[in-house]
Amino acid sequence: MAERDGLIWHDGKLVDWRDAKVHVLTHTLHYGMGVFEGVRAYETEQGTVIFKLREHTQRLLNSAKIFQMKVTYDLDTLMEAQKAVVRENSLKSCYLRPIAWIGSEKLGIAAKNNQVHVAVAAWPWGAYLGAEGMEKGIRVKTSSFTHHQPNITMCKAKAVGNYPVSILANQEVTTAGYDEAMLLDPQGFVCQGAGENVFLVKDGVLHTPDLACGGLDGITRQTIIQIAYDEGLQVIERRITRDEFYIADEAFFTGTAAEVTPIREYDDRPIGTGVRGPITEKLQKIFFDAVTGKVEKYRHWLTPVA
């Protein structure tokens, strides 16, 4: 990743990709307190747009607030930075990675006065769980690693230090031949995927774990809930057991990287008939139409980069 042409926004300036570096004594590198976002830009007939830019940028600032990290750039500046990165790299569609971290002035747990740095990078990134998975669905396995307990980890924050358990879970199940991991909360209820929120469909109704489980307040999750309501579908947020997923009619993951990815198998049991279900397909289509500017009523979700 480091050896590329292009520009990265680094503390207020666009710098050459290869020069966007940090020191080895960077506080975040040692202690894992940093916050980040995953954002996508899509190509539309009206030019390239960033999906829900304000919501993602606000979540970044909220994550920083949770950790009392003093980001010195305001919402508008950070939104402009993301637009500039897409534009100046001439990207038509891409993934964006804003990140805020604590600098290297002082090492040790207490480093309240260290500078908080911000960078934004962007690069092309296709279907996170594979193009085939988007159509056929993926195979998901419950990980042996439990999801964070919300009073140990700040689960509302999209934080650097929250991710080792996601990596462990993903490594565990992909080594065993599955596509993605599901994590259960400390009480054993389904929480979320390693980097995705999750929904099931039963008798035409959508169900998704409520966020008390510690799952991330996903922006794609919010989007799918909105689209479902607009389509007259009922959505219930509640605690869900893994065996409810086993007997669901359909299931799917949502996330900025994963977008809307159907689940065709969970813990070696086919979900429904083992193919992408009709409600999943419908929501997926509306989602992709919305992010690519084809749905008038959802155009306000899109910010042109030009």
Closest CA to 292 of 128, 85, 93: 93
Say if residues 39 and 82 touch (Cβ distance below 8 Å).
yes
Determine if 272 is a binding residue for ligand PMP (CB under 6 A).
no
- What angle in degrees, to the nearest 10, is found between the helix axes of 53-66 and 75-88? 130
Residue with tokens 């009523």: 297
Report if residue 57 touches ligand PMP, rule: CB under 6 A. Answer: no
Task: Among 255, 262, 272, 293, indicate the residue that binds ligand PMP (CB under 6 A).
Answer: 255
Beta strands in 168-276 (DSSP E): 180-184, 190-193, 197-202, 205-209, 235-238, 250-255, 259-266, 269-270
Q: Does 284 bind ligand PMP (CB under 6 A)?
A: no
> Which of 83, 97, 148, 221 is the binder for ligand PMP (CB under 6 A)?
221
Stretch that binds ligand PMP, among 78-86, 211-219, 226-234, 244-252 (CB under 6 A): 211-219
Burial label for 19, CB within 10 Å (0-12, 13-18, 19+), is exposed
Bridge partners, residue 192, by sequence? 183
Q: Which is nearer to ligand PMP, 98 or 255 (CB)?
A: 255
Q: Does 208 bind ligand PMP (CB under 6 A)?
A: no
Q: Cβ neighbours of residue 202 under 8 Å, at least 6 residues apart?
A: 244, 247, 248, 249
Collect all residues with Cβ–Cβ distance below 8 Å to 115 and sequence separation of at least 6: 102, 103, 105
Look at the alpha carbons of 62, 66, 69, 70 in this order and tell me if their dihedral is positive or negative: positive
Task: Candidates 96-104, 133-141, 192-200, 238-246: pick the segment binding ligand PMP (CB under 6 A).
Answer: 192-200
How many chain residues bind ligand PMP (CB under 6 A)?
Answer: 15
Token pair 């090492």: residue: 107
Site membership for ligand PMP, residue 82 (CB under 6 A): no
Residue from 220, 261, 280, 303 in contact with ligand PMP (CB under 6 A): 220
Segment contacting ligand PMP by CB under 6 A, of 98-106, 113-121, 194-202, 229-237: 194-202
Nearest approach in angstroms of CB 112 to ligand PMP is 27
Contact mark string toward ligand PMP, 148..177, x via CB under 6 A: ----------x-------x-----------
Q: Which listed range, 11-19, 66-74, 202-210, 212-220, lies at the site for ligand PMP (CB under 6 A)?
A: 212-220
196 binds ligand PMP (CB under 6 A): yes
Report the residue number, 98 or 277, with the smaller CB distance to ligand PMP. 98
| CA distance readout (Å), 161 to 88, 156, 165, 167, 232 | 30, 13, 9, 11, 38
**How far is it, in rounded angstroms, from Cα 220 to Cα 287?**
9
Q: Could you say whether residue 104 binds ligand PMP (CB under 6 A)?
A: no
Closer CB to ligand PMP, 114 or 197, in the complex: 197
Burial-class residue 257 by CB neighbours within 10 Å (0-12, 13-18, 19+): middle
CA distance 25 to 174: 33
Which span sits near ligand PMP by CB under 6 A: 82-90, 203-211, 218-226, 232-240? 218-226
Residue 158: active-site member:
yes
**Catalytic residue among 13, 112, 158, 285, which?**
158
Catalytic center residues = 158
Task: List residues binding ligand PMP (CB under 6 A).
Answer: 38, 158, 166, 192, 195-197, 216, 218-221, 254-256
